[in-house]
Amino acid sequence: NVEPRSVAVFPWHSLVPFLAPSQPD
């Protein structure tokens, strides 16, 4: 018997850093 295994799925944007500069007030 093979037990079902849940596989994590990650959204593509998790892998990309947000490098937005801070906005001046």
Partner 1 sequence: SPAAPPPALPPYFTKGSIIQLADGELKKVEELRTEDFIQSAEISSDLKIDSSTVERIEDGPRPGIALIQFAVGEHRAQVSVEVRVEYPFFVFGQGWSSCCPDRTSQLFDLPCSKLSVGDVCISLTLRELK
CA atoms within 13 A on the CB side of 10: 5
Q: Least distance (Å) from partner 1 to the CB of residue 11? A: 6
* Distance from the Cα of residue 18 to its chain's centroid: 12
- Which residue type occupies 7? V
The tokens describing 15, both together, are: 């892998």
Positions touching partner 1 (CB under 8 A) are 7-21
Q: Which residue, 2 or 15, has its beta carbon nearer to partner 1?
A: 15
Q: Least distance (Å) from partner 1 to the CB of residue 8? A: 7
Q: Least distance (Å) from partner 1 to the CB of residue 4? A: 15
